[in-house]
Every structure is written in C-alpha cells, then in structure tokens.
Chains A and B, each alone.
Chain A
C-alpha cells in the first residue's frame, strides 16, 4: 500500500483548481476536496503546493487533511465502495453487509485491494435513510441492499 503513495503525478492541474476559489485560507477545505476528487487522494506534493499557494504553514494544511473523513492520504481504488452506517442502515443490517463485502474483497474498511480495483469505506450517513441499507459504489447509490445481495455489488464487471 505505501509503495503506491509515492506515485508520480502531473500537478499542472493545480493552478486551475486554485483559481476556482477565493484566494484566502477559507478556501483550504474546498481546494483539498477538489484535489481529492482529481487525484482520488491527497498526494504529499499537492499538500505542499497548496500550503505555498495559500501561504499557510504546512502543518496547518496537514492538520486539516488528517482531521476530516473526506480526505485520504493514500490512493483509492478504481471503485470506492462506501457502506452507509447511519442509524437506519444499522438497524437494517449494515454491519452484516459490511462483513459480506469485506470478506468478499479480502480487505477491511479503510483499505484498498492489492490490484487497486476496490477500496472499502464506511460513511456516517448519506441521507438516503428511507432506502436503508445503502451502499454507494463510486457515485452510484444502491438502496434496500440485501445481505445476500451485497457481494454482487462488488463483482468485477
């Protein structure tokens, strides 16, 4: 896993990301979110460039990057599987669904498969409670997921 953390990236996109937001500290979180979306994680170099751009100490940028759940300092898989663990989903068996997917992929939550195809995460609540339990694969929401059908969501197509 750590080997992939030192991937080479093209950071020429960063100036464009910076320009989308007002040039002050309050844009830090949204800039990091845009970077996260672009590279699927926050590369170290990108954090350094962001600190320079906003004239913030690197330590502050790092604090923010490690405080919020949305940010990942490690690359994510091609497909990010997010299992909702909100209360409604919990009552309707989210734990069991997480187990099924975790076993099937051979990884625990917060991890990525060796081949880089899948990452497994848990989310606090995505607000689709009336369709609990919910699993999101990249941006696709799957509602009313059954324990027996959980594995199907992560089958390689």
Chain B
C-alpha cells in the first residue's frame, strides 16, 4: 500500500467547530482541484486480485510524464465497493465511469482515453448477465442501482485511510453538532426517535440501550464496537472498517458523549488485518487532529479508543464473551440475567453495538430522526447492509431499505441464479439463522418477518443456494462450525450440538433410521431452551429450519439412502457417461487411481477407489461425468 496521502493543509489540532469547518473547506478544495479523480478499490477482495499493482502502475505513469490536471493526489485508494468478483475495480469520478477486472497493463490506456480525454473503454465495462448490455456508469449498474447506501455511503468514494477525505465529505460534523448543540439526553432522544435498531442482528433499539446504560451510576461507563463479524459469509463490517474507519469512530464518539464514557474499544476479528490497520491509522490521525483525547473540539468531553483484537473465536461475537476477551480472558459467555448495560466490561455499565449501527449514528444526528424513519418500513427504519453471496450472479455487498423483499434482492440486484440453475433456498442470519425456500421469496427483509418464518435477518449474511446444494449437508456444515466454536462451558451446547452433529452426519452418510429424526427434533428443542448463550440457543436453527421446509430431503437420505442434490459423498456415485472423449484429463487429475481407460476410449471410474473428491468433474470439459 502506498503512503497515506496527507493533504497540504497543515495537520493541526481542531479546537473548535470553526476549525473543523475551515479544515473541511480546505480539504474539499484540495479534492476539487482535480476535474477527474480515480477511485481504485483497495478492499481485501480487490487487493487479492492485484489492486496494489494498479496503484503502482498509475504512479509509474505519472512518474514518466506529466498529465494535465492530474496528480498522485487524484488517485484515491478506496474501501470495498462490495462487488469483489468484478474486481479489480476502478471508478472515474465525477462521471462514475465504472471499469471492472482492470489489470496494470490497462492503466496507460485508461489514462490516455478516460483521463486525458473523455472516452469510455468498452472492454472494461460491466456486462449485465441478464441481457448482455454494457453499463457505463456506476449508478446504472443493476447491482448498485437498486441500493440505498447509508451505512456504506463512503465506501469507494473516499481514500480509506485519509482523515482529510472524511472531513471533506462532512465527517465529524455530527459529533460537532452533538457536542455543541445537543445535551447527551437529546442525543439519546434523537437516536431513540429514529428507532435505530442494532444492526448486528439483535435489533435492540440503540437509543433504549444507551439510556439504560447512562442511567446506571458508576465511576466509569464503556462504549464498545463489535467488529467480530463471526457469521461466515458476512463481510459488511469488514468493508466498513476498512473503507470508512472514521465513520465508526465518529459513531462511537457520539455514543460515548451520550452515555458518559471516557474509554472505548473496537473489537476486531483476527482474520481482518487490513481493518485493524486502517482503524489504527484513523485513531492515530484523530489523536493528531485532537478528535480523540482530552477536550475534544474545545469542550470538556474527553474520549479515547483502543483496538482489541479477536483471536479466532466465533463465540466472542456474543456480547458477554466479547467483553471477557477484551479483558484478556477466555471468551466464555455468562448468563444475561444481569445485562451488560448494567454490569459489563470489568463490571461497569457498557454499551456494545455493531459496526453498522455506529456508522448510522452520525447520519441520524446530521439528518434527524424523522428523515431516518422515512426510510424502511414499520418499526424497522433505515437500511441494512447484506452480503449477498453463493450461487447468485452478482455477488457482493449491498445495502437496501428495510422491507425490501428477498426476491428483489436476489433477482433485481443479484440478477438471479448462477448458470440459470433453479433457485432452491436462501440462508440468512448465519449459523443462528435458517434456510428459506422459494415460497418465502416475497417476505420483506427486516428484523421481524424473517424470524416469524423460522430464520432471522441476523447480521446480514445472505447465501443463495441452487438445486445442487444439499440442505442436510448445509445443516451438517453449520453444526460442524458451531461444535468447533462452542466454548464448552454448558452441557446442552457442548454435548448437545455435538450429538446433533453426529446424528446429522449419520443422515448424510446414509446410516440413520426413521427414529433418528424424532431424536434430532427432541434434542434440538432442549438445546434451544437450556443453553447458556446465543450460540447454543440458536445452534439447532439450521436443523430446525431445514426440517421445516425441506423435510423431504432429510427423509430421502434416511429412507432411500439417497441425496437428491448429489452432494453427500457416501450416497452418490460418479460415473462416466457417453459424452466421454477419452482425453485422459480425469485420469491425470485423480489422486486415487480410481479411473482407468485408454486415450480416445471411454474411461471408467472404479467405485471402490473413488472418494468423490470432485477433481475429475472439475477438469472434465465435456460434461462427461454424472454425479447422482
């Protein structure tokens, strides 16, 4: 990553609202100097695909010659747009020309045609998978068109590690307003009226949480940001922490002011090193600018933030376990009979909110509760970010108003199922959630509707599955995950989920009997009721929801020893069909010597040696291997 682009405006402490406004004008003017700006996405996804080399290529081109009205500062390394499969992404503002899958060798042409001139290079444009049309502008791409980006507002639009950029787009105005024009109670009232509900999945009204915390008399209150994002398949918080770290900090500052906290922590998952880096840079910059520390903006509000890193434990996304982890202990949750808003971190009243909740806070303060409630639906105001992944054409990070239906998300934004295969289910809410079938596609996505149907919105993971996904295997997968993540303290979770997992494996391997289904349901019921924390309590959900909507699949595995989706290895066979051309590709790929045959002769798979590893299917170009 190149050095942070510090602005020419001298870095100095902001000691008043006037200072902030002056700085905003200065930074904005710096950006406005350039008629064109290049946004290079440097989120984890695009970096993996070579975004850093793109930036280098731009810098190299600038080293070689002068380009009119274009300097290094006009190149912004932004956060994740959320459209990773199409990356590396380059957006040319202000027109929003959207280039996908850009390589370093494309840079000279892009500079020549789209920066020095006003041409659009067709071959880099996004092609809509539904109608094959090429789309020029960012805003017209179906993926982005249907979105309403509030939490993700700055992603892809500002340099991720630049405090100057954040201030230029109005950053820290909300905390300034709160500190100088509102009392802590008024801040809480505004957040309460906005009905901002916890975006981590709990959906608890943030205003109410803050008020309860504030009302506890103690010598110290804490504010914590949950950046653990443990749900596999979800990456909203990662993108926000990487791409708009200052928004997280600002949200926490406002919460701290509201509840009277002097110290805050951001708990970041160990698997997100870039997020840790960017957040730390943001914190360091805030120290330099006087936005964190003593007497912020010249008021008597003092607040500082430290990053606490997770160390690979899903259970630490649970609030009481998270607080233990922040304290350097083993992440064992505790009973919620005494809530952490009353007694939390080190026994003090603590507000814990999700990353996405915090980044909504500055917007609520700036634009007001009324505006916020005008978006979304009854009792679910605002928007929600989702990670739409799996067997869907457009995969990535999206944000839509609450109440948008599953169908709109999967078909309008996602553009339908990959390879035109039939839709089977969408899994929402991570391991605590469930799978919903086609008949549920018109459900609005909000905190309440999905729960009624046996799933939940959760933190926003939305995994689309087609007919080649086995629902029993999905249940098995989630149970395996939960068993490995259980802390081990309470019997129902530690032993119960383990036994559920064993029984589900037996189903997948064709060893189960009819009576096992009843055993599974009965045990699930007790695990839900008797577990200590959310991990155990919601652990059986994948089993229960797949039994509810896909019972016939479970029964096929048990009664007929058959896996309809062709996934469960013990129940399927790979056979070579008549399309085989004898190209020996599969024989070479097979690590178990299970395929025999001569060149140009039909090949044969020996079932006793075949492990169903899938290598042969993967290399076969003639669709000559059947899986059934």
Residues of A in contact with B (beta carbons under 8 Å apart): 24-30, 32-33, 60, 63-64, 67-71, 85-93, 96, 99-100, 103-104, 123-132, 134, 139-144, 146-148
Contact = CB atoms under 8 A, between A and B. Distances in A.
Interface string B217-241: 0000000000001111111011100
Nearest to B430: A87
Interface of B: 44-45, 47-49, 82-85, 87, 229-235, 237-239, 269-273, 308-314, 325-331, 387, 389-391, 395-397, 427, 430, 461, 463, 465, 469, 477-478, 481, 485, 487, 589, 591, 611, 613-615, 617-619
B89 to A, nearest CB: 11
11 contacts: A33-B311, A68-B331, A87-B461, A88-B233, A100-B615, A125-B271, A130-B84, A130-B387, A130-B395, A147-B617, A148-B619
Q: Quick one: which of B232, B314, B427, B481 has the most chain A CB within 10 A? A: B232
A91 B469 contact: yes
Given A25-B327, A124-B271, A147 B615 contact: yes
A20 to B, nearest CB: 12
A125 B465 CA distance: 18
Contacts of A139: 273
Given A130-B85, A130-B235, A141 B619 contact: no
B481 A124 contact: yes
Contact of A71 (B311, B389, B478): B311
Contacts of A67: 313, 330-331, 487
Contacts of A88: 232-233, 387, 389-390, 395, 463
B47 A141 contact: yes
Given A64-B330, A132-B389, A91 B463 contact: yes
A87 B477 contact: yes
A32 B327 contact: no
Nearest to B469: A91
B85 A87 contact: no
A126 B615 contact: no
Contacts of B478: 87
B312 A86 contact: no
Given A124-B485, A143-B84, A148-B615, A129 B330 contact: no
Given A99-B611, A127-B272, A129-B461, 10 more contacts: A25-B328, A29-B311, A87-B233, A89-B232, A90-B477, A127-B269, A128-B44, A129-B395, A143-B85, A148-B619
A130 B311 contact: no
B328 A129 contact: no
A103 B84 CA distance: 30
Nearest to B231: A125
Contacts of A128: 44-45, 48, 84, 235
B270 A70 contact: yes
Contact of A148 (B85, B238, B589): B589
Given A91-B469, A93-B614, A130-B82, A140 B229 contact: no
Contacts of B487: 67
Contacts of B391: 91-92
Given A100-B615, A103-B613, A142-B48, A129 B233 contact: yes
Given A96-B613, A124-B232, A127-B235, A87 B463 contact: yes
Contacts of B328: 24-29, 64
B49 A143 contact: yes
A123 B327 contact: no
A31 B576 CA distance: 55
Nearest to B585: A148
A129 B614 contact: no
Contacts of B330: 63-64, 67
Contact of B618 (A30, A32, A69, A146): A146
A67 B484 CA distance: 11
Contacts of A141: 44-45, 47-48
Contacts of A71: 311-312
Q: Quick one: which of A71, A139, A143 has the most chain B CB within 10 A? A: A143
Given A96-B618, A130-B387, A148-B615, A30 B230 contact: no
A30 B326 CA distance: 10
Contact of A130 (B396, B481, B618): B396
Give 5 closest A-B pairs by Cβ, nearest first: A69-B312, A141-B48, A86-B232, A68-B311, A130-B84
Contacts of A143: 45, 48-49, 84-85
Contacts of A90: 232, 477
Nearest to B327: A26
Nearest to B235: A127
Nearest to B269: A127
Nearest to A142: B48
Nearest to A25: B328
A132 B325 CA distance: 29
A28 B395 CA distance: 38
B44 to A, nearest CB: 5
Contacts of B611: 99
B223 to A, nearest CB: 16
A155 to B, nearest CB: 15
A87 B311 CA distance: 20
Contacts of A63: 330
B326 A26 contact: yes
Contacts of B311: 29, 32-33, 68-71
B232 A87 contact: yes
Given A33-B311, A87-B477, A127 B271 contact: yes
B611 to A, nearest CB: 8
Given A87-B461, A130-B83, A148-B589, A33 B615 contact: no
B85 A126 contact: no
B118 to A, nearest CB: 31
Nearest to B82: A130
Q: Quick one: which of B44, B309, B396, B611 has the most chain A CB within 10 A? A: B44
A129 B239 CA distance: 11
